[in-house]
Structure 1
Amino acid sequence: MRVMGVDPGLTRCGLSVVESGPGRKVVALDVGVVRTPPEDELALRLMAVADAAEEWMDTHKPEAVAIERVFAQHNVRTAMGTAQAGGVIALAAARRGIRVAFHTPSEVKAAVTGNGSADKAQVTAMVTRILGLQVAPKPADAADALALAICHCWRAPLMDRMAAAQAQAEQVRRRYEQRLAEQRKVVRG
């Protein structure tokens, strides 16, 4: 599976593409950071992030895009910009028919390090080790984008199985309720 990982942000937006193989094997294909000047208008900054992400999608043809879910930050303005950057990237992926998944920072940390509260240094060290890189990816946004892609490669099969099981359980529930309704009609009839 080819996955594009995104650590969204307006000042720095980490982008990566990895490919998973048998077992837990993951290979990095590309990694980078899109930077936008803080003095530019918000709309122009979002357009720059979207344009870069679209170019990556068109070049690398990922099957899925994994984006960090923004759930809380101390600075509301930063959180809004991060969420908006993630939103324009999700939109670009959806327009191309690419599946989008959002993962929380703790899910990513747990998947990559085994500890949902690992620090950035631990995440970077494990990303470097998992991918067999000679040098740790820098800045942290690049390492985080790779961690998101790795997380998705490892979690997606389980998420798909859980969704299929849930859909199957829903079908069984509907058939049961239908049979029950038919039996009630017979009893009343």
Structure 2
Amino acid sequence: MATACCRHHRVSSGEWCAQEMSGAAVSVGLLFLLSVCSACYISNCPIGGKRSIMDAPLRKCMSCGPGDRGRCYGPSICCGEGIGCLMGSPESAHCVEENYLLTPCQAGGRACGSEGGRCAAAGFCCDAESCTADQSCLPEDNGDDQSSQFEGGDPTDIILRLLHLARHTSHRTHQ
């Protein structure tokens, strides 16, 4: 038994007429395939593919705070020697830009805390969401041997520490 399907074609009742498939059904099918697909498109694909990001060396997180003396630890956390930790302040506002960069970063010194934090400022351990007081982040020496702090340091860090030391010394003489 044949039925009329398409304009001038006759097909049996068990066959399907491909010409009647509407453009909307094709569009829905393509949209479904696109939503399931997790391809790496040309515009946002890192060199080497998606997994190459995990192999890339970590870079320092963005600088922040007054005079860019701190580093971003989270979207609204900026910490550094001499400034402490600034959370939710105007100085830490641009730290949210770190979320839009393709390569991962690492801020701070040694690992601390239970949430994968890093030592941020003297006595503070910060992760991407918060900061807590942590004894393991206190400086190891009490200022008895100032020269050991400068070994292997960045020249700008050395200058900042010298200025910090000079400020404290002049403050003590005026008291």
Do they superpose with TM above 0.5? Answer: no
Structure-1-length-normalised TM-score: 0.22
Structure-2-length-normalised TM-score: 0.23
| Higher Rg of the two aligned structures | 2
Higher relative contact order (CA 8 A, sep 6+): 1
Greater share of helix residues, 1 or 2?
Answer: 1
